[in-house]
Amino acid sequence: MQSRELVIIGAGPAGLSAAVEARRLGIKDVLVIDREPEPGGILKQCIHTGFGLHVFNEELTGPEYAERFIREAENLGVEIMLDTMVIELSADKRIVAVNNREGLMEIQAKAIILAMGCRERTRGAINIPGFRPAGIFTAGTAQRFVNIEGYMPGREIVILGSGDIGLIMARRLTLEGAKVKCVVEIMPYSNGLTRNIVQCLEDYDIPLLLKHTVVNIHGRKRVEGVTIAEVDENMKPIMSTAKFVPCDTLLLSVGLIPENELSRMAEITIDEATGGPVVNQRMETSVPGIFACGNVLHVHDLVDYVTREAELAARGAASYLADGGKKYEYVPVSTGSGLRYVLPQRINADAMTDSRQNFFMRSVRPMNKARLIIESEKGVIKSKAMRHVKPSEMISIQLGRDEVIGIKMLRFSLQEEGDGVERDG
């Protein structure tokens, strides 16, 4: 059994940012563990640009963004153990990890930061009928095949779901000479960032079929085509609109799920709305001394927010290591109408590590004009007008310590405001 001060699980942008911040704060013994042979997490395969606008004021590619943190971590003496999978985690902060050099390792940590990222929702999760031939990939798997392994998953492609990875892959595969026939989205709006719709679909004349879904997959051995159909208001397919689209590949970009198997082993409380741990103002989970950040906590669309959140988690871990796990009372942060979730889910103003606290949230549906309302038990404490709100684009707002000190509860809600403009859905 080895003893370590801070162990970070995952060397994606969350884990690396947390490691760098932890070292800067003077934590001497920082170990980052990742199962991949290279650090960088999902960014390794995101060779498109669009990373780092907020953190670096530059448009970097994923690998470039990761590289800055990898170099910084190395300079600061962070130990990164690669090709090593954490297979067990317990509430008393014991980790079991395995690799093919050291074999099975047991590690006792004083504090842990979870940064395991997320996985993609699969066909099973959305129950597409039909055969189960070769040629069905999640968009991220296809991205890995193309950008890392150098292989093409298909020539004629239909993409189900308009999540960002799917949109990015539509462009990538087109540039590689494949034909992307269409992107099919069941909702009346896209689930991707607006800039991705424009730059990845519209610029390449790839049709985006809203309110449509795949109702059947054809082909015994390899995909030969899919049947797509329009859906009604209840998202039930209208079979009279069904049509066959020949293709050899179906890519799925139907959502990401925070990867919390280890968190569950440690009996960390999970928020059903985010799919990640319930955390407090310093990104600490329900188990004292275990923190979480990045996609394992909630799915992010911008890596810059991941970095900010990870730095907060690192400050949290530093303060935990300093105060030795002092017990705090928390006020609940609840999600009112118009929002899918708000994070952190509970706070203690006295124990805030920063003078201002970031709150992250997502809307339940697109709204052209809306008002974000923040209430305490005494009434509205803040409200903010917002434009072009979309579920796919995370909302972030800060509250100062002075605004939350002494309150007993916080509730966030989002109210749509009429603007005379007609809306779809």
Ligand X SMILES: Cc1cc2nc3c(=O)[nH]c(=O)nc-3n(C[C@H](O)[C@H](O)[C@H](O)COP(=O)(O)OP(=O)(O)OC[C@H]3O[C@@H](n4cnc5c(N)ncnc54)[C@H](O)[C@@H]3O)c2cc1C
- Where do contacts with another protein occur on this chain (CB under 8 A)? 35, 83, 85, 87, 96, 98-104, 106, 119-120, 122-125, 127, 129-135, 138, 140-141, 144-146, 148-156, 176-179, 215-217, 220-222, 237, 248-249, 261, 264
Residue with tokens 């407090």: 280
Smallest separation, CB 418 to ligand X (Å): 33
CA distance 200 to 202: 6
104-143 mask for ligand X (x: CB under 6 A)?
A: -----------xxx----------------------x--x
Token pair of 347 as six digits: 């706070």
Which of the listed partners (another protein, ligand X, none) does 234 bind, with a CB threshold of 5 to 8 Å by partner kind?
none
User: By the 8 A CB rule, do 325 and 288 touch?
Assistant: yes
Which residue, 39 or 140, has its beta carbon nearer to another protein?
Answer: 140
User: By the 8 A CB rule, do 254 and 125 touch?
Assistant: yes
Please count the residues of this chain forming the interface with ligand X, following the rule CB under 6 A.
Answer: 39
Smallest separation, CB 182 to ligand X (Å): 20
Which residue, 140 or 277, has its beta carbon nearer to ligand X?
Answer: 140
ω into residue 344 within 30 of 0, thus cis?
yes
What SS3 class is residue 209?
Answer: strand
240-279 mask for ligand X (x: CB under 6 A)?
A: -------------------x--x-----------------
Which residue, 66 or 231, has its beta carbon nearer to ligand X?
Answer: 66
Interface positions, 165-204, toward ligand X (CB under 6 A): 165, 168
Number of Cβ within 10 Å of residue 152's Cβ equals 15
CA distances from 33 to 16, 41, 43, 164 (A): 10, 11, 16, 27
Smallest separation, CB 216 to another protein (Å): 7
| Binding range to ligand X, per CB under 6 A, among 242-250, 293-301, 323-331, 407-415 | 293-301
- Closest by CA to 343, choosing from 270, 401, 408, is 270
Sign of the torsion angle spanned by Cα atoms 401, 405, 411, 415: negative
Instruction: Name the strands in the sheet holding 395-400, side by side, starting at the edge strand that comes first in the sequence.
Output: 339-343, 356-363, 395-400
| DSSP structure string for 327-386 | ----EEEEE-TTEEEEESSEE-GGG-SSSEEEEEEEESS-EEEEEEEEEETTEEEEEEEE
Which residue, 144 or 371, has its beta carbon nearer to another protein?
Answer: 144
- E strand or H helix that includes residue 164: helix 164-175
47-66 mask for ligand X (x: CB under 6 A)?
A: -x-xx---------------
Which of the listed partners (ligand X, another protein, none) does 176 bind, with a CB threshold of 5 to 8 Å by partner kind?
another protein
Which residue, 9 or 226, has its beta carbon nearer to ligand X?
Answer: 9
Smallest separation, CB 183 to ligand X (Å): 15
Residues that bind ligand X (CB under 6 A): 9-15, 33-36, 41-43, 46, 48, 50-51, 85-86, 115-117, 140, 143, 164-165, 168, 259, 262, 294-296, 300-304, 306
